[in-house]
Each structure stands twice: as C-alpha cells, then as structure tokens.
Amino acid sequence: MADTAWRDVYKAALLEVDPIKLPQRVEAAHRAIRKRLTENDEPLSKREFDDIDGALRILQFLTREAA
C-alpha cells in the first residue's frame, strides 16, 4: 500500500522524545509526505488526503513547540 511509508515516518516523528532528533524526524516526515503526494502509482483517497492534511498540521505544531 502506497500510504504506509509516509505514515511510518510520520509516526516516528510523533513518538520522538529526544528534542535534538525531533527536527530531523519532522523533516523526514515532510519528505515522505511530499513523496507520497507526487507519486503517480496510486491516487490518494479522500481519507488519505484528510490524514495527510491532519499530519501536516500536527507536524507544524511540533515544529513550533520544538522552537
């Protein structure tokens, strides 16, 4: 399933407790999401689109909180 990769990287960012590693995890999650959005293999479902939207909002929050 094409959406598994970005979800795994995103979950790693959510679970990161080391404030030094968090920015790297967040950036990796952003890259994985961008990759998924530009893939042509399997189109996004409405649910996955909504999940990505929510994930990007949470990653933005994590970035602000880490600063």
Higher pLDDT, 7 or 43: 7
DSSP H stretches of helix in 1-67: 4-15, 22-38, 46-66
Higher pLDDT, 66 or 8: 8
Domain of 25? 4-66
State yes or no: pLDDT of 1 exceeds 70.
Answer: no
Indicate the pLDDT class of residue 50, thresholds 50, 70 and 90. very high
Model confidence over 7-28: pLDDT tens digits? 999 999 999 999 999 999 999 9
- Mean per-residue pLDDT of the chain: 92
Structurally, how many domains does the chain consist of? 1
Rounded to whole angstroms, the Cα distance separating 21 from 12 reads: 11
